[in-house]
Structure 1
Amino acid sequence: MQKDKGKGRGVAAARRARGARVSGPRQQDGMLYEFRTCYLKPSKMNEFLENFKKNVHLRTAHSELIGYWSVELGGRMNKVFHIWKYDNFAHRTAVQKALAKDKEWQEQFLIPNLVHIDKQESESTYLVPWCKIEQPAKEGVYELATFQMKPGGPALWGDAFKRAVHAHVNRGYTKLVGVFHTEYGALNRVHVLWWHESADSRAAGRHESHEDPRVMAAVRESVNCLESQQNILLIPTSFSPLK
């Protein structure tokens, strides 16, 4: 009887493990990170950023800002990208309601700057459980690599993707800041946020990694499940927590 109970517990544990893999790489506490992109009118980029710098404390009083960047290369110009952290979806909803009632935020930043924004995009993501957000030791530039993977979720491509990321990290070609899996937005999408000392050091590290057999072997395995990839170079603003 004890043997049967032990076997039953083993089967249940295996089912939970399979379920965790199929559900995707997400933290168990429900914490989410919103990726928000604003497309600005060309002549209003500097004015928008200066206004946000002046009033950022009004926004961060409601929720935590992880980072705020301008897009330098790899995408449309006059674009800003920022990441906000929430405890869960209920927390995000509460923050949005509070902002709608915050007259100071509305009058000093939001209303005056709405005319400068062409459009906005938003994704909700989870930080994958096998990494945490790392704070770089000094200022530099950032690279956001977005991977559109084949349908099937992490049960299909999760392990290979993890090995490819770790291959780059372990060989020291770049510094990993965080890996995020989209929950609302394009499904089967993973964002990897890297830090580099400069755009030139990034180019040098990428060239070296392309000649590293261990990195290339890991990348080839992951590429089998890849549909497309886009990389953008990000410059942190003066008020960004991640520099």
Structure 2
Amino acid sequence: MANSIRYVKTIPQNIRHLSTSSARNDAWLSKIFVRKIEPTKESHSRMLSDKEVIYALQTHNYRPDSKRPYLNNVKNIVGWVKTQDQLKDTVDLVGSWTVNVGDQDQALHLWKFTGGFHQIDVFNELTDVNEDYEKLRVEQGKLVRARHLQYLLAFSYWPQILLREPKNIYEIRSYALKPGTMIEWGNNWARAINFRKNNDEAFAGFFSQIGRLYNVHHIWCYENLNTRKETRESAWRSPGWDECVAYTVPLIREMHCRVMVPTEFSPTQ
């Protein structure tokens, strides 16, 4: 990615003839640099992700009086997947959470498909004809109010996903970006992520391929809410973090966060 993208620094006309010998002037000029991304023939997925792995993020709004039977239904679906030889070592549940702060009566499930969209096709063909799975799907339909599915790619600069234990809380920060800004987002966050590694808080970072487009999801892991507060405050004390935030905020159309707790059958706790 670094070889394909470069920053272009643009200085207003009336400033171009100023001397740059002074360190103070240089520091001031750096504040007005505008970052631009040159056109490229490479797709976003090739430039930002380097793995033939697709992640599926399911978002379910379950009925307020149906949380327990709903979670039992999902647990049975996870168990069914594990019994299918065609899906062995290619389809895995990474994390399963219910929302504690944010959208209430909501659950998120993150699946990993090793083998890309081909393996998703295999999964869909199998579930379309399997009677046991169809029964579970019909049962789930009676327990939820709404469902949404996104296919995602992991950012190549994000740390490798590592399952956590014992039980933690997770924060998913979801961003709807302005169309055409995904490369610039990745370019800035490739630097920004270095400021967020001190407490091993970075769990996963994705951008959407199918579903709601120009969506980014960052998932962070914390011991508790107070640890979250202290960790985020420490990032602001790191020189350079404020600059990364300043460059990425203008790229956002909408954002929201949810604090989640793992289900008892979630592989990551």
Question: Normalising by the residue count of structure 2, what TM-score does the alignment of the two structures yield?
Answer: 0.75
Q: Give the alignment partner of residue 215 of structure 1, picking from 241, 247, 262.
A: 241
Say which of 80, 88, 99 aligns to 2:127.
99
Kept in 1: contact 2:170–2:221 (CA 8 A): yes
Residue 119 of structure 1 aligns with an amino acid whose one-letter code is A
- Which residue is equivalent to 1:6? none
Q: Which residue of 160, 167, 173 maps to 1:139?
A: 167
Q: 1:33 to 1:217 in 2, by over 3 A?
A: same
Q: Where do 5+ consecutive residues of structure 2 fail to align?
A: 6-38
Is contact 1:178-1:192 (8 Å) kept?
yes
1:131-185 Cα distance to aligned partner (Å, 9 max, x none)? 321223532011111122222133333211222232222xx25511111011112
1:18 Cα offset (Å) = 4.7
Q: 1:58 is matched with which residue: 77, 80, 88?
A: 80
Listed as ranges, the matches of 1:37-116 within 5 Å are 37-60=59-82, 61=84, 62=87, 63-75=91-103, 77-86=104-113, 87-107=115-135, 109-116=136-143
Q: Which runs of 5+ in 1 are unaligned?
A: 1-12
Q: Which amino acid aligns with 2:68?
A: N
| Equivalence for 2:19 | none
Is 211-220 or 39-48 further displaced after alignment? 211-220
Question: Partner residue of 2:223?
Answer: 197
Taking only aligned residues, the RMSD between alpha carbons, in angstroms, comes to 2.5
2:183 to 143, 149, 155: 155
SS across alignment from 1:42: coil
**Structure 2 counterpart SS, 1:194:** strand
Q: Is the 8 A contact 1:35 1:124 kept in 2?
A: yes
Higher helix share: 1
Distance in 1 separating the partners of 2:44 and 2:261: 35
Q: Are the aligned partners of 1:21 and 1:155 in contact in 2 as well (CA < 8 Å)?
A: no
1:206 to 232, 239, 244: 232
Alignment of 1:6-25 (within 5 A): 18-20=40-42, 22=44, 25=47
Q: Assess, with a 3 A threshold, how the Cα gap between structure 1 residues 192 and 14 changes in structure 2: closer, same or farther.
A: closer
Equivalent AA in structure 2 for residue 38 of structure 1: H
| Alignment-derived partner of residue 259 in structure 2 | 233
Paired residues of 1:24 and 1:155 also in contact (CA < 8 A): no
Distance (whole Å) between structure 1 residues aligned to residue 102 and residue 149 of structure 2 = 19
Q: Which has the larger radius of gyration?
A: 2
| Counterpart-to-counterpart distance in 1, 2:4 and 2:71 | 50
In the alignment, the residues of structure 1 paired with residue 216 and residue 77 of structure 2 have an alpha-carbon distance, to the nearest angstrom, of 31
Aligned residues: 226
**CA separation of 1:173/1:25 partners in 2, compared to 1, >3 Å: closer, same or farther?**
farther
Aligned to 2:206, the other structure's residue is in SS state strand
Equivalent-residue separation in structure 1 for 2:189 and 2:254 (angstroms):
14
* TM-score between both structures, scaled by the size of structure 1: 0.82
| Cα distance, 1:156–1:209 mapped onto 2, change above 3 Å | closer
Provide the rounded CA distance (Å) in 1 between the counterparts of 2:251 and 2:46: 15
Corresponding residue number in structure 2 for 1:33: 55
Give, in whole Å, the separation in 1 of the partners of 2:236 and 2:4.
38
Structure 2 partner of 1:127: 154
Post-superposition, which runs of at least 4 consecutive aligned residues in structure 1 deviate over 6 A?
none
Partner letter of residue 163 of structure 1?
R
